Structures are given as C-alpha cells and as structure tokens.
Amino acid sequence: MDFKFNIENIKWQKGSYGLPECVYKIKVPGVTTIIGEMIPDPEWDAFIAQVGKEKADQIMISAGHRGSAMHLFIENFIKIYNASTDVSEALRVTQETSPEILRKDGIPEDKINEGRSLFYKFYYSDYPNQYFDMIATEMGIYSPSLFYRGKLDILYKDKIFGLSLTDFKSSNGKIKKGSTKELKYFYQLGAYANAIDEMYKEKNIVINRATILCIDKRDDVLQEIELVGKELKEYKEKFKTLVKNYHITNNTEYLIKN
C-alpha cells in the first residue's frame, strides 16, 4: 500500500540556526508489540481459555507491577555499585530510594515487597559482579532501517564476550525449553542486538552476547537464556523477517521498501 500523508502528524520544533523545523511523526512499533502480534502463542491462549480474559488481564497487570519493582531495585543497585564500587553502599541506597519511587509510580505495596524479594535473589547470586562494567541501563534502542524501537535493561562489557546486553524478567517458574515464551525471548534478544548493531554501525560496535535473566518467584536459582555466536546471528535475521512481515501486515511496508 502506498504511503498516505496525514497532516495531523506534522510537528514543529526548533531546528538548525534556531529556526522552526517541520517534522513528520511516524508511529513506530515496539519490539514487544511486534512479537506479540506476529508470533502465535497457544500456551497463552490456553491460559485465557482456562481462567477467562478478565482474570488473565488482572494477573498480567499484577505481574507487571511486580516486574517493575524488581527492575527498579536491580537497576538502581547496578548503577550505584558501578559508580561507588561499594556493594554495601549500593545496597543501602537502593533499599532507601527504590520503594519511594515505586510508590509515586502507583505500584502497590505488596508488589513492591515482591519485587524487593526478587531483587534479593539477584543480589545474593553471582550476577551483580557480571554487570560491573556497565555502559548503560534503561537504554532506548531503535532500528533506522526497519523502523522498530524498544528499551533494553543493561548494556555492559562482559569479561569473556565483550559487548553484551541483558534484559531482566520476573517469572512464576522456570522457562521451559522449546516453549513459546522461550522463543519470544530469543526474538526479543535478536531485535535488541540488531538495533544496537545498526545504531553504532559506523563505529563497528557489535553485540557479542545477549541474555534474558529470569528471576523465579519459586526458586532461588536464577535462569539465564542466552544467545551467542551463530544462534545470535540467526535470531537477528529471524527478527528482521518478522518485523518486515509486521509492516506488510499493518500496511506500513513503505518504510522498508529499500
């Protein structure tokens, strides 16, 4: 389908030499939206059939609050630890500041406590030292050629693999090998790695390792889902195909004609 101009998408901003500049705003999908729309999830469909749509939505909102709390505790800790190199100070400041921020964001108290408990599982694991050489947290990423965007949790230099990225997930159990959820995580990692590669192509910066770190409510042992080498390249290419099909399906293929 040909591009249809919508004058409502025009925005004016300050441009070069301080003069007004006309910018056309394009709606760009997020990685989660693309994966959610393009990859069938029979496991989720079966769950909805079992508990009902309303109950499933409530569970997802609750899990989202718990995940938001866990993320903030972990990210605050990592940032402070990297800056101070004092693990005790990082823990103290994180404990003091994170709950207040979460309350202001409307996260229920019980979910703050659940998120804190998941953070402690992270804190008492070996992973905090893995992310010591941090480059960025909560980093906005995008693909200038395929028009998608997202936000990754941490970009860092791994002692073995070099430039790496990790996304943190809370869960109610281990992610099963071969499950749809694992497949979606692989696509997510491929999307993030491809975007970073594109954003910094001129500097020859390439992601060598991408992981999902799952912190399980039921188990103290953390689960890491990893893509490196051939598998990482494979899922970068698979996500490229997925996002192209997304644009075709949603009549925005004009963005990727070239």
Per residue in 46-69, pLDDT (tens digit) is: 989 998 989 988 989 999 999 999
Q: What is the pLDDT of residue 15?
A: 87
Q: Quick one: angle between helices 42-51 and 180-199, nearest 10?
A: 130
What is the pLDDT confidence band of residue 26, given thresholds at 50, 70 and 90? confident
Task: Supply the pLDDT for residue 2.
Answer: 62
- pTM for the structure as a whole: 0.90
Q: What is the pLDDT of residue 258?
A: 56
The rounded distance, in Å, linking the Cα atoms of 183 and 192 is 15
Question: Would you state the pLDDT for residue 25?
Answer: 86
pLDDT at 179 over 70: yes
Q: How confident is the model at residue 239 (pLDDT cuts 50, 70, 90)?
A: very high
Angstrom distances, CA of residue 26 to CA of 143, 148, 254: 13, 11, 12
pLDDT > 90? residue 152:
yes
Give me the percent of the chain exceeding a pLDDT of 90: 78
Q: Is the pLDDT of residue 107 over 80?
A: yes
Mean pLDDT of 77-83: 93
Q: Which helix (H) or strand (E) holds 226?
A: strand 223-228
The values of phi and psi at residue 133, to 5°, are: -90, 70
Task: Indicate if the pLDDT at residue 257 is higher than 80.
Answer: no
